[in-house]
Structure 1
Amino acid sequence: MKKFGYWIPSLLWMGMIYYSSSTPYEKQDVRPLLGSWFNLSWLTPFVEGITFTYHNQEVSVAAQGIEGFIEFFIRKGAHIGVFFILTLLLYTALRHSFRKGKRLCAIAWFLTLFYAVFDELHQGLTPNRTPYVGDVVLDALGGSMAVLAIFLWEKRITDEKRSLISND
């Protein structure tokens, strides 16, 4: 039963993601907030030449205004960050539930990817929201970054232990 406690943060985090995907875009739109709290016009000369297409829409200052352009990166950065954290939480739960193993990172990543797909499908049921495979790719990138962070952290700990043993 104690091992189940390690799953609670993952489940709560997935609940937060689910709630966020259930919220129509209009209730998550931060452009008015950005426009009223910050004068972002000084950024325009630095980013006005950046133009690309994402989900069949032009992303540029000309098409969205500076607030919309910045919001795009906030939203896509949130995809990466939220699924980075989910992977870390899932890995922690797996590690405490099962003995150590190199496959735990892969399992955590695949569980994250599965949830990312589920999240996009669920988002398709929400008014004014559409599922998009590009967002799943960003979610998978966040999970991959978490796997890399775990690998580097564990390598550092292993190296420190070896260093302490060799110094004795």
Structure 2
Amino acid sequence: MKKLVALLLIGIIAGLFISSSQTYDQQTIVPDLERLLPDRPLEGPLSKLEIPYWGKTISVEERGYYYFLEFLIRKAAHFFTFGVLAAVLYWLLPKMRLRFFLALLLSFAAASADEFHQSLTGGRTATWQDVALDLSGAIVFLTVIRLFTPRRTRRTTR
């Protein structure tokens, strides 16, 4: 089982590296969204959302429907990718008291390295907001693991 989880870790890291190596134009999904969602579902409710991000307010009005939807998908991908990464790291680390915090620290290091790598790619920008979003995903996933993992209780012998 650990080998399978280790392969998952390698896949996540490889995916992050490849993704950070691509320019925005190489990885945009806007044309796919336009083709798949010609009727713009949920445009009304999405038009009411305004998200402060990197000193701007991101909205349907500011970006347009498809670009706003892509923004939401990209940010969800950050959250879930680093949540899964943190979970994989947690399961691979030896059982010890600081496993939660070590998995979180390694996730932070990976998020920071990913943003730095992204900054070296043309047309991409590294932001601390993305690192914070990545850490939010890691914290949520690790907390869920801790809440739903049964703990062994020590039995005292007399």
TM-score (norm 1): 0.82
Cα separation, partners in 2 of 1:130 and 1:12, compared to 1, 3 Å: same
Distance 1:37 1:18 in 2: 27
1:151 alignment partner AA: R
Cα separation, partners in 2 of 1:91 and 1:46, compared to 1, 3 Å: same
Is residue 121 from structure 1 mapped to residue 116 from structure 2 by the alignment? yes
Distance 1:7 1:52 in 2: 36
User: Which residue number in structure 1 is paired with residue 14 of structure 2?
Assistant: 15
Q: Decide whether the 8 Å contact of 1:40 with 1:66 is kept in 2.
A: no
The gaps in structure 2 that reach 5 residues or longer are 154-158
Q: How does 1:8-157 map to 2 (within 5 A)?
A: 8-94=7-93, 98=94, 100-155=95-150
Q: List 4+ stretches of structure 1 deviating above 3 A.
A: 3-8
Corresponding pairs, count = 153
Q: 1:73 Cα deviation (Å)? A: 0.8
Q: Which has the larger radius of gyration?
A: 1
Give the share of equivalent positions with the same residue, in percent: 30
RMSD: 2.2
1:33-79: CA deviation from partner (whole Å, max 9, x where unpaired)? 11111134342222223223312333111121111111111000000
Distance 2:134 2:106 in 1: 12
2:143 alignment partner AA: L
Cα separation, partners in 2 of 1:40 and 1:111, compared to 1, 3 Å: farther
2:16 alignment partner AA: I
1:21 alignment partner AA: S
- Which structure has greater helix proportion? 1
Secondary structure of the corresponding residue to residue 42 of structure 2: helix
Secondary structure of the corresponding residue to residue 41 of structure 1: coil
Q: Decide whether the 8 Å contact of 1:13 with 1:86 is kept in 2.
A: yes
1:68 alignment partner AA: Y
User: Which residue number in structure 2 is paired with residue 166 of structure 1?
Assistant: none
Distance 1:44 1:32 in 2: 17
1:44 alignment partner AA: E
Cα separation, partners in 2 of 1:44 and 1:9, compared to 1, 3 Å: closer
